[in-house]
Chains A and B, each alone.
Chain A
Amino acid sequence: MNYHRPTSFEQASTIAGASDGTIRFLAGGTDVLVQLRADILTPDDLIDIKHIPGVKDISRTDDGGWRLGVAVSGAEMTEHAELSAEWPGLVEGMDLIGSTQVQGRATLAGNLCNGSPAADSVPGMIAAGCTATVTGPNGSREVPVEEIPTGPGKTVLAKGELISAITIPARGANGGDAYLRFIPRTEMDIAVVGCAVNLRLDGDTIAQARVALGAVAPTARLVAECADAIIGTTLDDATLDGLAHAASAACSPIDDKRGTIEFRTHVAGVLAKRAAKIAYDRAKGASA
């Protein structure tokens, strides 16, 4: 195994592009180092991107959104008061991952690139409308987060490509988001189902919405039918039932040791309702 410590994303991309074997990028390392130690995967080239300038920065974009470096940890996000106030659902999703120790290292980009359908930070990013900056041999491009994972452990990233930043759009007025996951325990577990809802109100009526589901399909999924079910409503009981139905209908989960198809499909609807209510209340609070 060769260890590399590039000082720019272009250099990182060049090293990755030149490798003949398995490569892994090291940011937080909470997946890569665990896989190494557990003898699940030993990359031929391990490319440490923590030393590239700016990777630990959380900064405002010109349009009022946020740009997060790829080595920003969950703990740094949670402790960032403005970011947490604007995007509580997205930040909570990240905060649910692992223990306090893991939170000191784990990153949004790492959680996304690990490619797990159950990644807790991903539905929140999708619902928020986040994009990933992908840097590669042909320069950089912006890719919607929902397009990054393509299946369990797989991403759209080509050889020599890596994520160089995550961009969160401007919150805007009267908005709120929420993320809920179902686990049998209270901590230290992997989502059996995850659901994120992000919406904006016009008065009491939902004007815009994005709903994403995790752990119920090969990738986390943006579900337009769920958004359609609640846009133009005040989230009355009939709307919530319609939302639950749409969420369950969007599921194509697997049966495994963590949950059955039937259970995951049902609970996706339950979580969609609960997350929508929280997001709605947060948007109301924001507009009060």
Chain B
Amino acid sequence: MALDGQKTAYKYIGTTPDRPDGLDKVTGRARYGADISMPGMLHGAVLRSPHAHARIVKIDASKALALKGVKAVVTRADFPDGLDGEDWNLQENCMAGEKALYDGHAVAAVAATSPLIARDAVKLIEVDYEVLPHVTDVDAAMKDDAPVIREGAADFSVPEGLHPNVVRYFDSGRGDLDKGFAEADLIIERSYTTEAAHQGYIEPHACLGQMGEDGRGELWVCTQGHWFVRRMSTAVLGIETTNIRVTPSEIGGGFGGKTTVFIEPLSLALSRKTGGKPVKMVMSRNEVLRATGPTASASMDIKMGMTKDGKITAAHGTFRMQGGAFPGAPVDVTTMLAFANYDIENVHHIGYDVITNRPKQAAYRAPGAPMAAFATESTIDELCRELGLDPIDTRLKNAAREGTRATFGPKFGPIGLVETLEAAKTHPNYSAPLGPNQGRGVASGYWMNWGGETSASVAISEDGTVTVSIGTPDIGGSRASMALMAAEAFGIPYEDVRVNISDTGALGVNEPTHGSRATYASGLATIRSAEDCIGKLCKRAADKWGIDPEAVIWEDGCAKPSGPNAGEFPPMSLAEIAGEMGSTGGPISGHFEDSPAGFSGSFGTHVVDVEVDPETGRTTILRYLVVQDAGKAIHPAYVEGQFQGGAAQGIGWALNEEYIYGEDGRLQNPVFLDYRVPVASDLPMIDTVIVEVPNPGHPYGVRGVGETGITPPLPAVANAVREATGKRICNLPLRPSRVLAAIQGKG
């Protein structure tokens, strides 16, 4: 796949103008989920189960309904029966049916004239629970004596003889493991665990729903994907998908966690029950942590073999993951990507998706990949140490390249792992001197990226500007990237491009901003829509000049005769054509829709230096380097921001973030004080190097960059702590007590 036709010289791409939404955000003018209000609006609140696992014997809402200001109460009885598959899972998660399946599971919801009345009303709802035995740990949930969370939840993939809590099973590989391990000079086997981590977005879930008794309505919501919200919410309510229109608000973070529904169907159900009054619902942080989706926790066994000179001969991984009370732990992706960095002939993966009494997991930045990377990249580090090999040279020796058959099947096209390793090796951070109690860790990671259903429009405005309408909410600066790509395609200034995130009524179906797809897919759609416009702009010029449209070219923002034979006419700028378009044939716009399949994955290599206090076990990050392949960085500052954000979240997951459940099955730390994401002063300025190996499947070479960055930090930090302390710790997080115990030989 040559890059014929792919641009290489750019005027706007690669510059770093201010983001179009920046002023609104710093002045408070931007409207987030909870900022939407309507006349006559009611406020919703949710009653949540205090039990990890309990049969709901009876719900009596009469006292709540008698409270002045209370307008409606809904329970599962207000939702239709007969759903199946993921639709049933969503409905059951949004509102408990026969059983409450985890601490925080919604049991009833109230709409009242004020948030305080709604909160008080929730306390008046009486629920009789029959408390059942619970299990929250993945390994415990697979044991014979574990309580069964739901009979019949397993699909066809699960072999006979496993506990009913094992709901999906994955088994893949190739080559001859025995032969591969026989060729190894050193074989290392280790078991690892990672804890559930929350996306930690700052903006809690919030929505305003309005639905009449006719089952038609609207929803304003903070989400990564409003077509998903429309489909899921209507499925849970048992109504036609297009009965509601969904408009996304600005979004204060999502990281995958806002690609599903929680309170949205409840607000619509409450609204319908009040005869169509709008109902606003805003989650508290406690609700966000207890009842929305963190990622899965994992328990993993890795066995890898290596020759003395560093060639990986065989790899085997077993991955057990729990994603809460429903199928969906991303163990399929975990098995797929576990060894994907490397060219390995003999490889085998086994995966178990296990249900437990925890909230339903949701996507979190590269779902499934960081856990696998922790296990495999830690093992490779240990092999390198034992064999006295340099970790970067060893990775270069085994690295996947263009033409390598990936451990998950297909052949890689042009990819940038080797380039990231080489850039990391020559970066000053890799040779910076280290002091006592300090250590350096290296790890690589991968995310395959995604295309997905995409629909966009570009309209020429009468003032000579261009309006781009896309359907992927701007979660990481994508409006700036779309404006840059449109500016490049049209040859007009960045400032002359406006970008809208359209509601579900204005475009065809768009998948969410997920899978690192927005800059790739909506970007591609923006460029193609612009090209569609340009053809129409050229035709208007041709009509005016009285020549064939084919004799007109578009260059530097102007229509021009294609050469001396086409005639002598002065160029017509976009603004000139736009100013006349009302009298030359009417509005001009361009469209594009596709599920583009030319996406290509992004590899990254991280190098981290830590210092560990030998008396307290506390880890300080001294230096951190992210090197990652962006294909082509449209707005380099936002690409760097994605690199740094991924690293920061990964460092948190590695050091202190964890879901802590008590013996009673209740979440012990549903507050940011005790769910410890890194604060600004915990991190150094994170250094970045953008590698650009163009993706032939995008006009400008773009690869998604959002997710890869969270994959290497878990093993990179653990490898650095290993060097600083001499101790290999196989369980995350590396909280000080755990590191101190290891230092003291009690680990």
Contact = CB atoms under 8 A, between A and B. Distances in A.
B678 A266 contact: no
A76 to B, nearest CB: 23
A263 B737 contact: yes
Contacts of B676: 184-185, 189
Given A270-B615, A270-B616, A188 B737 contact: no
Contact of B673 (A182, A190, A259, A260): A190
A257 B616 contact: no
Contacts of B682: 185-187
B493 interface: no
Given A186-B681, A257-B660, A39 B740 contact: no
A128 interface: no
Given A186-B679, A257-B660, A38 B286 contact: yes
B135 interface: no
Interface in B578-626: 615-618
B286 A184 contact: no
A185 B655 CA distance: 9
A184 B655 contact: yes
A51 interface: no
A185 B615 contact: no
A141 interface: no
A257 B668 contact: yes
A10 B133 CA distance: 54
A188 B681 CA distance: 10
A68 interface: no
Most buried by B among A182, A184, A262: A184
Contacts of A49: none
Given A187-B681, A257-B669, A182 B616 contact: yes
Q: Is the interface of A mostly helix, strand, loop or mixed?
A: loop
A39 B617 CA distance: 36
A82 B571 CA distance: 74
- The interface size bin for chain B is 20 to 34
Interface residues of A, number: 21
Contact of A259 (B668, B669, B679, B737): B737
Nearest to B613: A270
Contacts of B740: 263, 266
A12 to B, nearest CB: 26
Nearest to A99: B679
A267 B616 contact: yes
B119 interface: yes
Contacts of B673: 188-190
Nearest to B667: A257
A56 to B, nearest CB: 28
B656 interface: yes
B734 to A, nearest CB: 10
A262 B738 CA distance: 11
Contacts of A39: 119
A132 to B, nearest CB: 26
Nearest to B285: A38
Contact of A184 (B284, B656, B668): B656
B670 to A, nearest CB: 11
B686 to A, nearest CB: 16
Contacts of A190: 673-674
A258 interface: yes
A248 to B, nearest CB: 12
Contacts of B656: 184-185
B311 interface: no
List the 5 shortest-distance A-B pairs measured between CB atoms, nearest first: A263-B737, A186-B681, A270-B615, A257-B668, A257-B660
